[in-house]
Amino acid sequence: MHWLREVARRSPGYMTRIGLGTYIDPEHGGGKFTERAKDDLVRRINFEGASYLFYPTWKLDTVFIYASSTDEEGNLSFENEALVSSNIALVLAAKAHGGRVIAQVRRVVPYGNRPASEVRIPGVFVDSVVVDPSMMMTTDVKFEPAYFGGRRLPLSELPPIAMTVDKVVALRAAKEVRKRELSIFGFGAAADVPLVMAEQGIFEKDGLKNYWFTTEHGSYGGIVMSGWQFSANLNPDAIVDGIQQFDAIDGGACRFAALAFAQFDRFGLVNVSKFGAANPGAGGFIDIAENAQRLVFTGTFTTGGLEVAFAHGKLRIIKEGKVRKFVDRIEHITYSVLDGVRRGQTARLITERAVFEVTTEGLILTEVAPGVDVRRDVLDQMEFAPSKVADDLKLMDEEFFLDMARPSKGQLTIVNPYR
Active site residues: 216
For residue 379, the SS3 value is: helix
Residues in the chain: 419
DSSP bridge pairs for 25: none
Contacts of residue 95, Cβ cutoff 8 Å, sequence gap at least 6: 8, 101, 125
Of 305, 340, 297, 337, which is closest to residue 321 (Cα–Cα)? 305
Q: Any idea what DSSP says for residue 168?
A: H
Of 356, 362, 262, which is closest to residue 302 (Cα–Cα)? 262
Strands 294-298, 256-260: pairing is parallel
Q: Which helix (H) or strand (E) holds 368?
A: strand 362-368
CA dihedral for 122, 125, 130, 135, sign (positive or negative)? negative
* DSSP per-residue letters across 304-315: SS-EEEEETTEE
Could you tell me the strand order of the sheet in which 76-77 lies?
107-108, 69-70, 76-77, 119-121
Distance CA(230)–CA(245), nearest Å, equals 16
The answer to whether 274 touches 332, Cβ cutoff 8 Å, is: yes
Of 383, 397, 391, 345, which is closest to residue 366 (Cα–Cα)? 391
Q: In whole angstroms, how far apart are CA 416 and each of 81, 388, 419?
A: 20, 35, 6
Strand stretches in 175-222, DSSP E: 183-185, 213-214, 219-220
Distance CA(143)–CA(135), nearest Å, equals 8
The answer to whether 243 touches 14, Cβ cutoff 8 Å, is: no
Contacts of residue 167, Cβ cutoff 8 Å, sequence gap at least 6: 161, 192, 196
